[in-house]
Copies of this chain bind each other. A is one copy, B any other.
Amino acid sequence: MDKINVGIIGLGTVGTGTAKVIIENADVISNKLGCELVVKRAADMDLDRDRGLDFGEGVLTNDANAVITDPDISIIVELIGGTTIAKDFVTEALRNGKHVVTANKALLSIHGREIFALAREKGLTVGFEAAVGGGIPCLKALKEGLSANRIESIYGIINGTANYILTKMTEEGGDFDEVLADASARGYAEADPSNDVDGNDTVHKLALLMDIAYGTVVDLDDIYMEGIRNINPIDIDFAHGFGYVIKLLAVTKLNGDEVEARVHPTMIPGNHPLASVDGVYNAVFINGDVVGSTMYYGHGAGMMATASAVVADVVDIARDIHAKAPNRITPFGWVDSALKDIKIASMDELELPYYLRFLVVDKPGVLSTISGLLGENNISISSVVQPEREEGTLVPLVIVTHTAREKELRSAVSQIEELEVVSGETVILRIEEQLGGTE
């Protein structure tokens, strides 16, 4: 039986999981692939740790370059993370004629132009299914399963840490800081959680989804980002009262020649399939002009789930090699000549319903003044909640608007915040009502 050799750079959690799958599910894989898949070399700085795996003689090394330059290896799996050394290794692997598989969304979303151009030049594939949605084969669905479609919109819950925190806050109450501390203690949040809770990781993943959806290379700076640190249990409760749940959502929508690209906490209808994607689960909800609404759900992270996606990419590339068609499909699924720049819509032009929570002095006329200022800015009100009053004290005033333009909304809020009866900063949350998939 033929043999296709794989080299792994980085034997941390996912790297070890990847080796484990290739070794322990060798029978399943070769029965599908028609040839043997072998971990020929695997590099890590720390070779002393027991990984509970029999790699075989001479496989482990602490010299990554020995793996990358091994002439018998066809596919390099990069799982060290980060955007510096990882970039060197990936670039070097491509220069050496190796296909690359990686779970590194930061690397690809920051240095994608360079890396994908090099892969193109060399006629090689870069597989990155594991970079978005962990084990969920959502990129394959977008790239191949929906190939007949113009992608109209994508809504993703694609950061497990943020989703775990919001789920806990929703189910059990508790402030963001408390729940984050608990998540850290359980290993669901990293020592420095900012990449997850401030939205960076979600932005990286959204960029890759957009690259495939539209056939482009998105600049990260073009994606609006807002994290979940300011989500307050009181807003979760008010949301619930209006029939919404709050999720950190990655959103992209095609509007004529422009696309929206944004990551922010979002209120979505409680009966939408995304609303019940809880805890560390992820889901990507995709609307295509032909297929309508589809959703892909599963573990967004973790040793084995991520390894499942990594090995699926390796098997795909191995199939191409085995069939002597190494260029069968490009990394984004679009031919090179079709790649184009796309214009990202300005956030000012965004049109959505909004949830606003003001802190106001409870006295007659306040609601009328505030609603007047909203009206002057073309914003009409859908609902108002004013909890029971103790005249003269500070109380929350919650307003849900009909569809409004973000620029006008921000202008109205600035004017309202200047009122003497309004105290502190207004909470503004965007509402996505029309996600599709429930008609």
Contact = CB atoms under 8 A, between A and B. Distances in A.
A74 B121 CA distance: 30
A116 to B, nearest CB: 16
Interface in A18-39: 21-22, 25, 28-29, 31-34
Contacts of A155: none
Interface of A is mostly: mixed
Contacts of A150: 25, 28
B145 A290 contact: no
Contacts of A291: 135, 298-299, 304-305, 308-309
B323 A32 contact: no
Contacts of A438: 278
A299 B308 contact: no
A361 interface: no
B312 A148 contact: yes
B312 A320 contact: no
A319 B327 CA distance: 10
A330 to B, nearest CB: 9
A294 B298 contact: yes
Interface residues of A, number: 65
Contact of A319 (B281, B307, B329): B329
Interface string A239-270: 00000000000000000000000000000000
A51 interface: no
Q: How many copies does the complex hold?
A: 2
Nearest to A20: B290
A149 B333 contact: no
B147 A32 contact: yes
Contacts of A271: 276
Interface stretch (A136-144, A184-192, A397-405, A410-418): A136-144
Interface string A421-433: 0000000000000
A61 interface: no
B148 A28 contact: yes
A320 B311 contact: no
A376 interface: no
B289 A149 contact: no
Contact of A32 (B140, B289, B333): B333
Given A137-B140, A273-B273, 8 more contacts: A21-B290, A25-B150, A28-B147, A129-B145, A144-B312, A276-B276, A295-B295, A297-B297
